[in-house]
């Protein structure tokens, strides 16, 4: 009887214990304080958007998997995480039907038509957000969507900066999301949650640090151009770093394992380019509130090409 003397398999040989379900539930757990602060600021409207987003994403995933004939994988938490992230990117006052359209677009167009998790080339959350932001720009504008909600006044941080009202955007209010904006505006809590993900090795630090570095460089180079012409005010780089969705982008959107590169050098380039492009869109683009989203989404298109940047095997030209 012939015995196998040597069994050869492809690395890795040891499993770290990490998995889709573990990473999804940890990510949602660290985002719970951010969601709670959003509900405190924007009241029942934020709670409704969160619940409807998560529920719609889970329903869309189950329906699509049933239609295609794949096993239903709601237990891995990926659909719920997509819904939670999408909700945190939305203002609390958006119409319910817009939330449903965005959720179904994220799951079906951004994920399931490519074969599900691990196969989609772009971040599903960002695909859903972009589709409704481009199609229904007025309803997605935080300054418009939150105009009729009680206990809220003023402008969103980015709108105030573009109008030259620098004093209306104090850093302490930006940290805790005490301004008009998306539900997940409490950027300091997002940063703390992101650091927890790094500590637990849920995400890779190269993408996050590269992204923040790109945003900071963009702020230094172009930040003053965001103000009206003739303004003698200056933009605090920390305000730009913590306003909008920068922290969500750095720790929860850009490091998406499916749409981001896997090689270290490629991750640095990917993160840095996405952060720099996000600032360019913020300063010069019409969709300035979506600079982070568009920046990550556009650079993700180059992710397969960036992954070709790797050390050559010894002995090869």
- The vertex-104 CA angle with 98 and 110, nearest 5°, equals 120
Across 96-105, b (16+ Cβ under 10 Å) vs e yields: eebbbbbbbb
- pLDDT for 36: 95
Under a CB-based contact definition with an 8 Å cutoff, are residues 306 and 266 in contact?
yes
Q: Taking 90 as the threshold, does the pLDDT of residue 99 lie above it? A: yes
pTM: 0.88
pLDDT tens across 196-211, in order?
999 999 998 999 999 9
What is the C-alpha separation between 125 and 160, in angstroms, rounded?
27
Yes or no: say if 268 and 227 are a contact pair by the CB < 8 Å rule: no
Q: Kind and range of the H or E element at 20?
A: helix 20-68
The torsion angles phi and psi of 49, rounded to 5 degrees, stand at -65, -45
User: 3-state SS of the chain: helix, strand, coil percent to 5?
Assistant: 65, 0, 35
Token pair for residue 74? 């709601």
Whether residue 57 contacts residue 105, with contact meaning beta carbons closer than 8 Å, is answered with no
In Å, how far from its chain's centre is CA 170?
Answer: 24
| Burial (CB count within 10 angstroms: exposed 0-12, middle 13-18, buried 19+), residue 19 | exposed
Backbone angles phi, psi at 6, to 5 degrees: -140, 125
282's tokens: 């913020």
pLDDT of 290 over the 50 cut? yes
Task: Flag whether pLDDT at 13 surpasses 50.
Answer: no
Three-state DSSP at 116 gives coil
Tell me the percentage of the chain whose pLDDT exceeds 90: 46
Per-residue pLDDT reduced to its tens digit, 275-289: 999 999 988 988 888
Q: Which residues contact 213 (CB under 8 A, 6 or more apart)?
A: 271, 272, 275
pLDDT of residue 14: 47
Q: Pick the residue with more confidence: 153 or 160? A: 160
Query: Which of these, 204, 310, 307, lies nearest to 254 by C-alpha position?
Result: 204
Give the model's pLDDT for residue 287: 86
Q: What is the pLDDT of residue 37?
A: 93
Q: pLDDT tens-digit profile of 67-89?
A: 988 888 888 899 999 999 999 99
Among the four given CATH numbers 1.10.3430, 1.10.10, 3.40.1620, 1.10.3470, the one describing domain 21-306: 1.10.3430
| CA dist., res. 76 & res. 23, Å (int) | 9
Using a pLDDT cut of 70, give the percent of the chain over it: 87
pLDDT at 214 over 70: yes
Does residue 7 register a pLDDT over 60?
A: no
pLDDT tens digits, one per residue of 245-266: 999 999 999 998 888 888 889 9
Q: Can the peptide bond before residue 257 be classed as cis, meaning omega within 30 degrees of 0?
A: no
Contact criterion met (CB below 8 Å) for 212 and 275: yes
Spatial distance between the Cα atoms of 20 and 182, rounded to a whole number of angstroms:
27
Place of tokens 């949602």: 28
Tokens, residue 64 = 């699509």
pLDDT, mean over the chain: 86
Q: How many CB atoms lie within 10 A of CB 15?
A: 7
């Amino acid at each position: 009887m012939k015995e196998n003397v040597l069994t050869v398999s492809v690395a890795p040989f040891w499993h770290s214990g990490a998995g889709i379900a573990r990473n999804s539930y940890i990510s949602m757990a660290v985002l719970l304080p951010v969601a709670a602060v959003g509900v405190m600021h924007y009241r029942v409207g934020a709670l409704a958007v969160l619940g409807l987003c998560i529920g719609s994403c889970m329903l869309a995933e189950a329906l699509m998997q049933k239609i295609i004939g794949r096993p239903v994988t709601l237990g891995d938490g990926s659909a719920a995480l997509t819904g939670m992230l999408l909700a945190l990117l939305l203002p609390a006052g958006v119409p319910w039907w817009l939330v449903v359209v965005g959720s179904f677009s994220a799951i079906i167009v951004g994920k399931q038509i490519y074969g599900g998790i691990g196969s989609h080339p772009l971040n599903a959350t960002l695909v859903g957000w972009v589709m409704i932001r481009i199609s229904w720009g007025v309803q997605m504008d935080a300054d418009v969507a939150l105009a009729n909600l009680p206990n809220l006044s003023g402008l969103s941080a980015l709108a105030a900066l573009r109008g030259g009202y620098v004093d209306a955007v104090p850093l302490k209010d930006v940290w805790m999301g005490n301004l008009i904006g998306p539900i997940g505006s409490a950027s300091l809590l997002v940063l703390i949650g992101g650091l927890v993900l790094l500590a637990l090795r849920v995400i890779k630090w190269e993408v996050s640090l590269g992204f923040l570095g790109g945003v900071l460089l963009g702020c230094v180079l172009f930040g003053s151009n965001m103000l009206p012409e003739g303004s003698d005010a200056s933009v605090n780089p920390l305000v730009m770093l913590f306003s909008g969705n920068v922290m969500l982008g750095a720790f929860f959107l850009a490091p998406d394992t499916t749409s981001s590169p896997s090689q270290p050098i490629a991750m640095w380039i990917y993160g840095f380019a996405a952060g720099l492009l996000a600032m360019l869109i913020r300063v010069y683009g019409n969709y300035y509130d979506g600079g982070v989203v568009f920046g990550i989404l556009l650079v993700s298109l180059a992710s397969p090409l960036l992954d070709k940047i790797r050390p050559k095997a010894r002995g090869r030209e």
